Structure 1
Amino acid sequence: MSGQTFDVVVIGGGPVGEVAAERAVRGGLKTALVEHERFGGECSYWACVPSKALLRPGNLLAAAKRIPGVPVGDALDPAQVFARRDWFTGKGDDTGQFEWARGAGIEPIRGHGVITGEREVTVDGDRVLTARHAVIVCTGSVPNTPKIPGLDTIRPWGSREATSASAVPARLGVLGGGVVGVEMAQAWATLGAQVHLVITGERPLPRNAEFVGDLVLHGLREAGVFVHTMSGVEKVAAVDGGTELTLKDGEVLVVDEFLVATGRRPGTAGLGLESIGVEAGGPLTIDDTGQVSAVDGGWLFAAGDVTGRAPLTHQGKYGARAAADTVAALAKGEKVDTSPWSPFTATADHHAVPQVVFTDPEVASVGLSDAREGSADRVVDIDIAVAGSSLHADGYRGKARIVVDTERNVLLGVTFVGQDVAELLHSATIAIVGEVPLDRLWHAVPSFPTISEVWLRLLEAYGL
């Protein structure tokens, strides 16, 4: 068996692992980055990037139709949409990401990395990497597969197939009302598929405020999606002409492809965690510096989806910066400040996680979606009905919410839903993280005529 020694070994070459490795190198540490699939990871090839490339044309077409005088057609050109998506993903060629790692001073290593002992990672069973200071696990998440009778007799789509397919199915069934389910249902409907979305509740996106689900439900139906609420898939069977889905309400659908979008779980299986006394299958519990709590010696760190904390690419990269900077500081014998606002800690997931759902209408939220139980928090909801939104689109439909800590007079949560609200989100994130008092926020004057005027209306509705 061959062996090499590094200061840091990062397992997982997606965006989170790339950031961890780059920050470690920046901190003066010799670093290896191990990846068994594609450098660039899930986000680059099968998730965030291709899904948004598929969604954008349909959103733009819908927006153009809301402005009289704009010459638009009635349908997208799927071939051009797929070609643009493939440009972003490189058709799965990760050569550029591999070479980027080398150029950044990282040692990229292709293969399956398994922890085989303290500060030890074995790649493909025959290459032992020893880390002088730390191993950082950034292996992301994997899909949850529900136990549905007959599912193992077909080849269902997962999120990877849904974002990489290059032919429009005539009929697509989608199970799941979360982010992947609603985004892919709408994307494929705008590309010309007859889409049936099956959800268990009254509305999609149940973790958000109810008005979010209501407006997204309207948008899905407006895009041509058939939404089956208060239902589920009882069983699946392969039949002539496609796949038969028997819903829990007894309805039977026949589709050409069936997308199962029922969530994800931390990707800890197959990492060899048992060799260091850590149970695999669940998330790696970490402190705010990214150090894994269950492992003695302070050498194992983790960031991203694998921790179960705010499974979003931007949050994972944020956590990776804290973990790698902590490792670099400790390697130099420096003291690590673990206070909440230290650069060595990732604390935003405690109170200010921003997320955008790129449907039409978009959903942009950060912090709490509702008042805390038993608190004096106040919730203010208004329609997004300002000069900026009226000029932006005829018949503009949207809502906004703020959750206010009335005792401290600061924001705890903000939610926007409407066309093109994603770019409003960072101002809300700054207001929450910065704990800007509402009477101070009153002096942040929104430009006229923009949708940002909604901030003024929210504060007025609150009573300022």
Structure 2
Amino acid sequence: MSESDEYDVIVVGGGPAGENAAQYAVQGSDRTAAIVESELLGGECSYFACIPSKAMLRPLDVRAVAAHLGGLSGVPDVDVEGLLARRDSWVAQYDDAGQVSWAEGAGLTVVRGHGRLTGERTVAVGDRTLTAREAVVIATGSVGVIPPVLAGLAPWTSRDATGVREVPEHLVIVGGGVVSCEAARWMRALGSRVTLLVRGQGVLAPFEPFAGSLVLDALRADGIDVRLDTEVSAATRDAAEDTGLGRIHGGEVRLTLSSGERIEATELLVATGRRPATDGLGLEAVGLTADDLRGAPSGGSLPDWLHTVGDINAEAPLTHWGKYQARMVGARIAARAGHGTEPVAPAFVPVPQVVFTDPQVAAVGLTARQAEAAGRAFSTRDQELSSTTGAVLLRDDLVGSARLVVDDETDTLIGATFVGPEVGDLVHAATIAIVGQVPLDVLRHAVPSYPTSSEIWLRLLEG
């Protein structure tokens, strides 16, 4: 039987970005919003990406600190079952009842099923037709890209790696980005022999070169076999099939590398990038293509009733960036309906990111390479993290570096990168400095506490 539902706002995709867009669009009013979700409410981040990976990585951070500080009597062993149980607790045993309860408490209606556009302000979910009086927001996220040479092997994706149930004896990871480097770390700790195949000349290529270099050294020191300038030219596997989240997907994996070398592995993880999840979205019904969704959440190619937030618009595939977009879009929808004022963003809003390797990498804004490509007149300021007492107190054999990228015309910060233990807590100060366009001669009066890693700011500004 067909149903018809009308809401002020319809959000297709119930990840963090979608949830925030719905909440900000109607909060404080009697207007209504529906969230359409075909899987778990809370999305990729909550169950298959950020949360489970960090739940497993944090105990490893503590273990690493114990291994690099004098005054302790031993290094804790990794409790494999305990680590996986901690992961399962953080993903609520892959049950979204808590998220649904939050949504309903916020006045949002959860509609289960796959949503597709069928016309202006209309979304079909099975036999139901949802109609939006004001706006539709697309927040369907992204999916992993599997190269054709590996497509028939039923390889692991990032979901399998974070949801690992059966620890493979030998895991080959294809890719040198954030997912690859973080997964290599926890899979090694769980007991896998890990081989990392990287097409380029280093890992974490989009970051400052020194960041990738320090992380590469650490991966190798941890016993991970990292092969650079390496691609898979041929691959086979017997009885390859997806047998469930985090379980072995078939027989032995046999790979032929671009060097001609052949290697065998128990399982294969492919982390070679992601693309916007536009399949079955019904864009053709409103005269759009997937390319039209790329760019700003309310970009010029979209009709005024349609918005995008999160990975779907390919701006930056990061949860916090999707949530920022969602807050802006939600507030904009509310303002156009007469609730509040339309938000205005600064000319340059930088994207921060933390990579939870050991050492951590934290960066925001432009790298030196990006500033040069943009034609900016800039200079860099570099310091070793060991120049600060507070950082050295964290590890007896501290390894780490920091860089500021400074616009020479305005004498303001346009980029920053920190590599070292716990540097994820340093990057927000740089984000504030960039957003606020704070001149360096003013930043010098922001006195860091002693002895903390924040002292690196003093060294960088004096350098």
SS of the equivalent of 1:115 reads strand
Paired residues of 1:276 and 1:295 also in contact (CA < 8 A): no
Match of 2:359 in 1: 361
> One-letter code of the match for 1:284?
L
Two-structure CA RMSD over aligned residues (Å) = 1.6
Match of 2:219 in 1: 220
1:270 equivalent in alignment to 2:294: no
The CA deviation at 1:295 is: 3.3
Match of 1:340 in 2: 345
Paired residues of 2:295 and 2:315 also in contact (CA < 8 A): no
Match of 2:162 in 1: 163
Report Cα offsets for 1:164-211 as digits up to 9, x if no partner: 012321110000001101110111112211000000122100111111
> One-letter code of the match for 1:266?
P
Aligned equivalent of 1:295, options 294, 302, 315? 302
Report Cα offsets for 1:107-146 as digits up to 9, x if no partner: 111011111000000102x100010000011111111111
Distance in 1 between residues matched to 2:258 and 2:77, nearest whole Å: 33
Mean CA deviation greater in 24-33 or 101-110:
24-33
SS of the equivalent of 1:136 reads strand
The CA deviation at 1:286 is: 5.1
The CA deviation at 1:61 is: 1.0
Pairing of 1:171-186 with structure 2 (within 5 A): 171-186=170-185
The CA deviation at 1:368 is: 0.6
Distance in 1 between residues matched to 2:135 and 2:376, nearest whole Å: 42
Pairing of 1:186-335 with structure 2 (within 5 A): 186-238=185-237, 242-280=252-290, 282=291, 284-285=293-294, 287=296, 290-296=297-303, 298-332=304-338
> One-letter code of the match for 2:156?
W
Pairing of 1:331-410 with structure 2 (within 5 A): 331-332=337-338, 336=342, 339-341=344-346, 350-370=348-368, 371-373=371-373, 374-385=375-386, 386-410=388-412
Distance in 2 between residues matched to 1:394 and 1:336, nearest whole Å: 50
Paired residues of 2:67 and 2:74 also in contact (CA < 8 A): yes
The CA deviation at 1:72 is: 3.2
Paired residues of 2:292 and 2:301 also in contact (CA < 8 A): no
Identical residues among aligned pairs (%):
47
SS of the equivalent of 1:392 reads coil
SS of the equivalent of 1:306 reads helix
Match of 2:435 in 1: 433
Paired residues of 1:382 and 1:399 also in contact (CA < 8 A): yes
The CA deviation at 1:419 is: 1.2
Change (3 A) 1:334 1:87: closer
SS of the equivalent of 2:86 reads helix
Paired residues of 2:145 and 2:275 also in contact (CA < 8 A): yes
Distance in 2 between residues matched to 1:51 and 1:365, nearest whole Å: 19
> One-letter code of the match for 2:311?
D
> One-letter code of the match for 1:16?
A
Distance in 2 between residues matched to 1:363 and 1:105, nearest whole Å: 38
Distance in 2 between residues matched to 1:360 and 1:234, nearest whole Å: 31
Match of 2:242 in 1: none
Paired residues of 1:75 and 1:191 also in contact (CA < 8 A): no
Mean CA deviation greater in 24-33 or 325-334:
325-334
The CA deviation at 1:254 is: 1.1
The CA deviation at 1:417 is: 0.6
Paired residues of 2:293 and 2:302 also in contact (CA < 8 A): no
Paired residues of 1:286 and 1:293 also in contact (CA < 8 A): no
Match of 1:344 in 2: none
> One-letter code of the match for 2:275?
R
Paired residues of 1:116 and 1:272 also in contact (CA < 8 A): yes
SS of the equivalent of 1:372 reads helix
Report Cα offsets for 1:347-376 as digits up to 9, x if no partner: 6xx541100000001000000111334432
Distance in 1 between residues matched to 2:251 and 2:287, nearest whole Å: 50
> One-letter code of the match for 1:389?
A
Report Cα offsets for 1:368-392 as digits up to 9, x if no partner: 1113344320012221111112111
Give the gaps of 5 or more residues in structure 1: 342-346
SS of the equivalent of 1:451 reads coil
Stretches (4+) displaced over 4 A: none
Change (3 A) 1:452 1:334: closer
Task: Give the TM-score normalised by structure 2.
Answer: 0.93
Paired residues of 2:195 and 2:227 also in contact (CA < 8 A): yes
The CA deviation at 1:59 is: 2.0
> One-letter code of the match for 1:23?
Y
Match of 1:16 in 2: 17
The CA deviation at 1:250 is: 1.7
> One-letter code of the match for 2:322?
G
Match of 2:245 in 1: none
Paired residues of 1:58 and 1:191 also in contact (CA < 8 A): no
> One-letter code of the match for 1:276?
V
Paired residues of 1:283 and 1:308 also in contact (CA < 8 A): no
Pairing of 1:408-419 with structure 2 (within 5 A): 408-419=410-421
Question: How many aligned residue pairs are there?
Answer: 446
Distance in 1 between residues matched to 2:279 and 2:407, nearest whole Å: 41
> One-letter code of the match for 1:300?
L
The CA deviation at 1:340 is: 3.3
The CA deviation at 1:241 is: 6.1
Distance in 2 between residues matched to 1:136 and 1:38, nearest whole Å: 18
SS of the equivalent of 1:400 reads strand
Change (3 A) 1:27 1:292: farther
> One-letter code of the match for 2:136?
V
Distance in 2 between residues matched to 1:127 and 1:96, nearest whole Å: 25
Mean CA deviation greater in 129-138 or 183-192:
183-192
> One-letter code of the match for 2:298?
Q
> One-letter code of the match for 1:53?
A
